[in-house]
Copies of this chain bind each other. A is one copy, B any other.
């Protein structure tokens, strides 16, 4: 008696805990001035987005990220079928975000359906161009890493490439006006790779991130062609600007511009709306809060001066 699988669990005061949680939720909803809510959950789903990205990865690279038993002869069948499933599922998520955006605006609620369709159509139409960009990233990784044996290996193994597949899809969603979906895609990559790229960041072709853990790239960063970045690099903002009444000033370009062909070694921190000129090299662990001209080679020794000058900037992204 009292032993065994479900033993003495009798006295769990479920009703009490359920009531306690209800009170806590009501307190929150009151504090947030939420009207008495009815109906279902109105938010997009992390898991749904994850599955959509998985499917789109297969659509983009069928023979390498598609199902193991796929064959060239049936590639297009697989792609068409999977694409349809992915886009239909995306359509539902887009509806959820658009409705959520318009939750206080009955007028905008009305055209959610039409806008969702337009958006998903545009997104689908952008996929071939995204594939071309990703091919350039794969090639960049292959050329940039002495250990890489083939482009196939790069696509299969490199977390930096996984992060870029997510980013290029997320960026498209961001541009099309569904930033929450974009963010969910970006955070999925972050969780898998430790690479945290804001979906707003604009990144040219041939981008390569090696190792990657700890990389942070901010919303308004702009990165040119053939840039290479190593683990723990931050392209961040300086301290936030607050307006008179202490509110954070949101928006506005506040992250670095990195021009074509720049290489940034591990642990370097570049902050603020500065420009790293074309072809520059930024050494490991460098701390940089000013622009540098094309062809610069910045080392820690140099950057220490920078630290003294600019002591209270803070690496944010």
Contacts and interface: CB of A to CB of B under 8 A. Distances in A.
Interface of A: 1-18, 20-25, 27-28, 31-32, 37-41, 43-46, 48, 59-60, 62-64, 66, 68-85, 87-88, 91-92, 95, 100, 109, 113-114, 117, 120-121, 124-125, 127-129, 131-132, 135, 143-144, 146-147, 149, 151-153, 156-159, 179-180, 183-184, 187, 190-194, 196, 198, 210-211, 213-214, 216, 219, 230-232, 234, 236, 240, 248-251, 263, 265-267, 269, 271, 281, 283-285, 287, 297, 299-302, 307-308, 311-317
Contact of A71 (B39, B75, B210, B302): B39
Main SS at interface, chain A: helix
A23 B281 CA distance: 36
Contacts of A127: 17, 20-21
Contacts of A313: 283-284
Contacts of A45: 68
A231 B214 contact: yes
A52 to B, nearest CB: 14
Given A66-B41, A85-B69, A146 B249 contact: yes
B231 A216 contact: yes
